[in-house]
Amino acid sequence: MNTAFEAQDKLGFARHLRQALPYFEEFQDQILVFHLEAVPSPENDSRIIEDLVLLNQAGIRIILVHGPGSSSIQSDFDGIRQSIAAENWELQTRILSISNKVQTFSAHLIRAVPSEIHPEQPQLPQGRVSGIMLDSLHEALKSRKLIIIPSFGIGEKGRLWLLDPWETAIEVASAAHAKKLVHLGTQTRDFFNSLPSSQMTTSEMRHWLEEQKLPQPVGRIWQGLLNACERGVERCHDLDYEENGALLLEMLTPGGIGLMVTNSDYRLIRPARINDLQKISDLLGESSAEKTVVFRSLEYLRQHVDDFHLFCIDEEIAGCVELQTMHNSSDALIGSLAVSASHRNQGIGRELVEAMVREARKYELKQLFALTTSQSSIFMQCGFKETTAEALPDWKLKDFDYPDCRVFRYNIPRNKID
């Protein structure tokens, strides 16, 4: 017989699985590029290699770019080349030890030209990426192999050039049109607390970096995230790979972990779609049980789906709102305002209301009404004033039967169009 704790644990597992499954669907067959600062030692319990293998087995196309490892102190070409080869072999061996069903593919897929001589290491053949052998890369991706790219480049007459691993990862992600670029390392973890937010758009990140004086290793990693986003990579991340589960938390949960830079809005309000109906029903069911919104059946939602807008954090619906209108009426009504319990006190309700005010202005409506039993502060913060039920438009007043509701009204300025 299950104990209460076991039942709660199972419910928690089911809840987390529901959150994760949409991400698996989103990333299916997508290309993700990872820069691995160093292969963690076997004693390290981060399990980052195991998590990469799991993602590959789930159908995500993974490219790993690596260098000689952060612990390498070699200063001559042969020594660095041997360190990179040893890192490559260690990585493939670790992957095989986790699953013999995962096939790896490692090759020199980078074309390179000489770069400026490093002032401290003039004897090293430093290069920079001039091209990616995309045909070979995509052929390996089609075969579902986990691709490992060492930081070497092939130049004229087969000459080998040493490449910067982080810059190589950025070039590979951009050329391959990767959905994500992820830096896995420890160099920046002591500076995460200095970030104004763990989720930043490119414009926010650019502005913040311009005002900061960061150590060079930290600045170049975060500048690289920004550069990759500006070159078309949808989302770029920086994770402390020694934190157990960091990669899965970032990939498969709405809150994430570490730093994310995105070239699109991570939090957005969008119109509802037919395939959102069950999620909207679950969200409203949660709030109607708390007696904060009126229950809406699936049939009602199906008939009025065009009236609903959703607040989404990545792929998760965190809130909803309904804008009820009537033909030939200059008034509208906000209803079905609900925010999931796990996302409350983050300003989402207010953002949804403000979005409906903008919608009302766009359609040149005159008045916007809201009915609520508990969310009066949201409406008052958005400029609504409490009024009586008699002020409601006739089409709403004739079926108004909610004595516990408070009524709020917003007069839409005629000269203020968004």
CB atoms within 10 A of CB 317: 20
Each domain of the chain, given as residue ranges in start order, spans 4-264, 268-411
Q: Is the pLDDT of residue 121 over 60?
A: no
For residues 158 and 2, give the distance between their C-alpha atoms in angstroms, rounded to a whole number.
Answer: 65
Which amino acid is located at 86 in the chain? A
135-174 tens-digit pLDDT: 999 888 888 899 999 999 999 888 899 999 999 999 999 9
Task: Give the per-residue pLDDT at 112.
Answer: 93
Residue 267 backbone dihedrals phi, psi, to 5 degrees: -105, 125
Element holding 142 (H helix, E strand): helix 134-142
Asked if 92 and 66 count as a contact pair (C-beta separation under 8 A), the reply is: no
Q: Is the pLDDT of residue 398 over 80?
A: no
Three-state secondary structure string covering 51-66: HHHHHHHCCCEEEEEE
Q: Is the pLDDT of residue 47 over 50?
A: yes
pLDDT category of residue 186 using cuts at 50, 70 and 90: very high
CATH number for the region 268-411 comes to 3.40.630.30
β-strands 152-154, 160-162 pairing:
antiparallel
For residues 407 and 396, give the distance between their C-alpha atoms in angstroms, rounded to a whole number.
Answer: 12
Task: Give the per-residue pLDDT at 56.
Answer: 92
The SS3 assignment for 285 reads: helix
Q: Is the pLDDT of residue 418 over 90?
A: no
154 alpha carbon, distance to own chain's centre: 34
Question: Which whole number is the average pLDDT over 39-58?
Answer: 85
Q: Is the pLDDT of residue 8 over 70?
A: no
Q: Which residue has the tokens 């076991």?
A: 6
Asked if 381 and 357 count as a contact pair (C-beta separation under 8 A), the reply is: no
pLDDT category of residue 71 using cuts at 50, 70 and 90: low
CATH number for the region 4-264 comes to 3.40.1160.10
Q: Is the pLDDT of residue 310 over 90?
A: yes
For residues 232 and 7, give the distance between their C-alpha atoms in angstroms, rounded to a whole number.
Answer: 45
Asked if 147 and 64 count as a contact pair (C-beta separation under 8 A), the reply is: yes
User: Which range has the worst mean pLDDT, 24-28, 183-187, 333-337?
Assistant: 24-28
For residues 64 and 62, give the distance between their C-alpha atoms in angstroms, rounded to a whole number.
Answer: 7
For residues 134 and 49, give the distance between their C-alpha atoms in angstroms, rounded to a whole number.
Answer: 25
214 alpha carbon, distance to own chain's centre: 24
Q: Which of 79, 78, 97 is nearest to 39 (CA)?
A: 97
Phi/psi region, residue 94 (left: phi>0; alpha: psi -120 to 50; beta: rest), is alpha
Question: Which whole number is the average pLDDT over 19-37?
Answer: 86
The structure tokens listed for 240 are 């402390």
Question: Who has greater pLDDT, 43 or 321?
Answer: 321
The SS3 assignment for 166 reads: helix
Strand partners, 339: 319
For residues 168 and 228, give the distance between their C-alpha atoms in angstroms, rounded to a whole number.
Answer: 11
Task: Give the per-residue pLDDT at 3.
Answer: 62
CB atoms within 10 A of CB 381: 13
Asked if 118 and 126 count as a contact pair (C-beta separation under 8 A), the reply is: yes
Q: Is the pLDDT of residue 199 over 90?
A: no
Q: Is the pLDDT of residue 352 over 50?
A: yes
Task: Give the per-residue pLDDT at 206.
Answer: 92
> What is the overall mean pLDDT for the chain?
85
73-107 tens-digit pLDDT: 566 788 888 889 999 999 999 999 998 889 999 98
Q: Is the pLDDT of residue 1 over 80?
A: no
Q: Which residue has the tokens 């990862």?
A: 169
Question: Which whole number is the average pLDDT over 3-20?
Answer: 69
